[in-house]
Amino acid sequence: MLLSPLAERNWEDVCSVLEEVLENQSHRELFALELGSGTGQHVTRFAQKIPFDVKWQPSDIKDECHESIKAYIAATKAKTVMQPVHLDASESWEKWAGIARNSCDIIIAINLLQYSSFKTAEGVFSGAGQILRQNGLLMLYGAYAINGIITPSSNEDLDAELQNMNAEWGLPDIDVLRQLAYGNGMRMERMIEMEEYNKCLIFRKF
């Protein structure tokens, strides 16, 4: 079972935003897809904390993450969390583990776009544009640039660190994401300031 100290620090704040944005749809069963689930800490905590009827589908490209997610599901006895699926978000939606078009109420990606190439950002928006139902939400959490500018210096350091790890990684620009959203039938509805200079971006499919 993998443990991410960062996930331990941020899950509760992210969960509060999720609860708030899902509340007005909570009268029916919802289907939530998590991209780049990593350890599995987030999805299992969300399932325990959020009082609505939500079926959670975790996913990742790495086998070691699948093992960890399964271990968290078993340890927390989370009945509403499905077994993890292999899903490479940079691929076209037809390869997203057989998830049907217009089937998803919310797609969540926490610290995924920062730790992957721009091709993944493109894949996330084009996949979300197909897989979300009308009015469905895409929620992205992490640190971002705005109009080419990164603040504060701790986020500049993070961007440099990410690019050192992999030249294709780094903080995505919100203006670029907004354009990707628009090109895929979504609009950015909210930008919520979070702890440690992170943001939650909420996009809605129209």
Ligand X SMILES: C[S@@+](CC[C@H](N)C(=O)[O-])C[C@H]1O[C@@H](n2cnc3c(N)ncnc32)[C@H](O)[C@@H]1O
65: contact with ligand X by CB under 6 A:
yes
Among positions 44, 80, 120, 184, the unique one binding ligand X when judged by CB under 6 A:
120
Partner residues linked to 202 by β-bridges: 139, 190
Select 44 or 80, whichever has its Cβ closest to ligand X.
44
112: contact with ligand X by CB under 6 A:
yes
Q: Which stretch binds ligand X (CB under 6 A): 48-56, 82-90, 127-135, 174-182?
A: 82-90
Q: Which stretch binds ligand X (CB under 6 A): 86-94, 130-138, 148-156, 174-182?
A: 86-94
Dump strand ranges (E) for 44-185. 54-57, 59-60, 85-86, 104-110, 132-142
Among positions 18, 57, 60, 126, the unique one binding ligand X when judged by CB under 6 A:
60
Residue 91's nearest CA partner among 57, 61, 132 is 61
Half-sphere exposure of 75 (CA within 13 A, CB side): 14
How far, in Å, are 25, 87, 139, 174, 181 from residue 19 at the CA level?
10, 25, 12, 23, 23
Q: Which stretch binds ligand X (CB under 6 A): 16-24, 110-118, 172-180, 186-194?
A: 110-118
Half-sphere exposure of 43 (CA within 13 A, CB side): 39
Select 4 or 26, whichever has its Cβ closest to ligand X.
4
Task: Output the smallest distance, CB 27 to ligand X, in A.
Answer: 28
Task: Output the smallest distance, CB 68 to ligand X, in A.
Answer: 9
Among positions 22, 56, 66, 88, the unique one binding ligand X when judged by CB under 6 A:
88
How far, in Å, are 58, 69, 193 from residue 73 at the CA level?
10, 6, 30
